[in-house]
Amino acid sequence: MKFIRSLYLSRLFFILLTGIIFLFLLAFVFPWLFGVVRVYFFIVLVLAVADGAALYVPKKAFFARREMADRFSNGDANPVSIFLENRYPFPVRLEIIDEIPFQFQKRDVLFHTRMTEQTQQIIRYELRPVKRGEYEFGAVNVYTRTPLGLIRRRFRFSQDAIVAVYPSFLQMRQYEFMAISNRLTELGIKKIRRIGVSQEFEQIRPYVPGDEVRSVNWKATARRNELMVNAFQEEKSQAIYCLIDKGRVMKSPFEELTLLDYAINASLVMSNIALIKQDKAGVMTFSDRIGQMVPADRKPGQLSRILELLYRQKTRFLETDYESLYLQVKQHIRQRSLLLLFTNFETVNALHRVLPYLRRLAKDHLLIVIFFENTELQELLSGPARTTEEIYLKTIAEKFFYEKQQIMRELQQYGIQSVLTPPEKLTVNTINKYLEVKARGMI
């Protein structure tokens, strides 16, 4: 039974068999063809048996193995490698089918290659998950053919594996590397000019052109006989919370990722940057009811706790309860903190329903409301309107675009900071706002 399951006849075999049938039919009209057809059939049969024997006589003639990370990064291209080893004493042609998880909705993960005798080869490709959770991989199927190509033998290397898809830790590592090497500007992070002077003294150092004269330490200057200045550093150990809305407004998809996943990826990067800046990072999720919370801290393992919490979050399809959020913040966050609220508003009326609670939050903390531009509306507004229907659609799009700007103005009117950003630029714009707030000494 195992032999039958692994045996496949090639297209060439069926083409030759069709030719034999056609010649047999002609032989009824031309009897002299019977002898030719019998010889032709015998040759094909012998070649097929010899081809099958060459494939099946060696017991461990081929080996394949899938290599990948233990966990994938959501929204990023994750590398997968298939290691191949040909142990046949002759060249083979291969078809490799990798059974990837159904969440990718791909049925074309098929590779064609050719390997010489006793050689090794690696096939590399990438998978981009767009949902967090567990992904189950199946087997690696390898179909081998000899140069003759009449018979195919299937090797099935069972490598059933479950891979957890976490929030975008690859993006987090990229920003972490850039932050450590002071190259964040390459990712779009702006250099924010510090306004005023921090009160945390760092060191006394020699004066360099550009230092403020007010920071000159005259006593140290007299002792060293050269200009010395007091150097200050940014305030540290400030509490930074990412508040993530899991309500129905965050279910909208952009480039296959939901707004919730964009917010989760940005929160992970933001928490890591805050920890690098010696601040305390925390996360709170909410929807129609309060979700989970990691209190702000910068102890070892804090980022791992945040990552595990973000991994388990799912969108709820109910209206968000901001009153519960306010009560939860008031109960658990006693220290004045920076609150980065990831949510979305499509209309001014939606903002008015929650504005009283946002004003209360802004009274005790520095609140920054981060919501999303509809990039599809931008594409619609940029194009010309040629028909009556397109004119109506463009008018409606302009109304929604105007309402987004009105939301920003209303928040500013009540002293609430806001960031309106395209989903793909959420992380960059969030970090820029955080650095701006740090530079201005607002927390």
> Nearest Cα to 254, choosing from 362, 351, 127, 344?
344
d(CA 274, CA 239): 9
DSSP class of residue 213 equals G
Please tell me the pTM assigned to this model. Answer: 0.80
The mean pLDDT value of the chain amounts to: 86
pLDDT digits (tens, 9 = 90+) for 104-123: 988 778 999 999 999 999 99
> Nearest Cα to 416, choosing from 325, 346, 319, 339?
339
pLDDT digits (tens, 9 = 90+) for 127-158: 999 999 999 999 999 999 999 989 999 999 98
pLDDT at 389: 80
pLDDT at 137: 94
> Which segment of 336-340, 351-355, 363-367, 395-399 scores lowest on mean pLDDT?
395-399
* Per-residue CA distances from 315 to 171, 287, 327, 405 (Å): 22, 8, 21, 26
| For the chain, percent of residues with pLDDT exceeding 90 | 51
Band of pLDDT at residue 200, cut at 50, 70 and 90: low
d(CA 323, CA 290): 10
pLDDT at 338: 94
Is the pLDDT at 318 greater than 90? The verdict is no
Is the pLDDT at 2 greater than 80? The verdict is no
Is the pLDDT at 48 greater than 60? The verdict is yes
pLDDT at 351: 93
Average pLDDT estimate for 7-25? 89
Write down how long the chain is: 443
pLDDT at 191: 54
Is the pLDDT at 169 greater than 70? The verdict is yes
pLDDT at 206: 84
pLDDT at 255: 83
Contact 82, 122 (CB under 8 A): yes
DSSP class of residue 233 equals E
Average pLDDT estimate for 163-184? 76
Helix (H) or strand (E) run with residue 123 in it: strand 119-127
Q: Name the more confident of 290 and 360.
A: 360
Q: Name the more confident of 391 and 102.
A: 102
Average pLDDT estimate for 40-52? 91
d(CA 326, CA 344): 17
Q: Name the more confident of 58 and 306.
A: 306
Average pLDDT estimate for 163-168? 94
Per DSSP, the chain holds a count of helices (H) and strands (E) of 12, 21
Structure tokens at 38: 């019998």
Structure tokens at 401: 């675009």
Is the pLDDT at 356 greater than 80? The verdict is yes
Is the pLDDT at 29 greater than 90? The verdict is no
pLDDT at 202: 59
Q: Which domains does the chain have, with CATH numbers?
A: 1-166 (2.60.40.10), 169-193+235-439 (3.40.50.410), 200-233 (no CATH)
Band of pLDDT at residue 224, cut at 50, 70 and 90: confident
Band of pLDDT at residue 223, cut at 50, 70 and 90: confident
Q: Name the more confident of 196 and 224.
A: 224
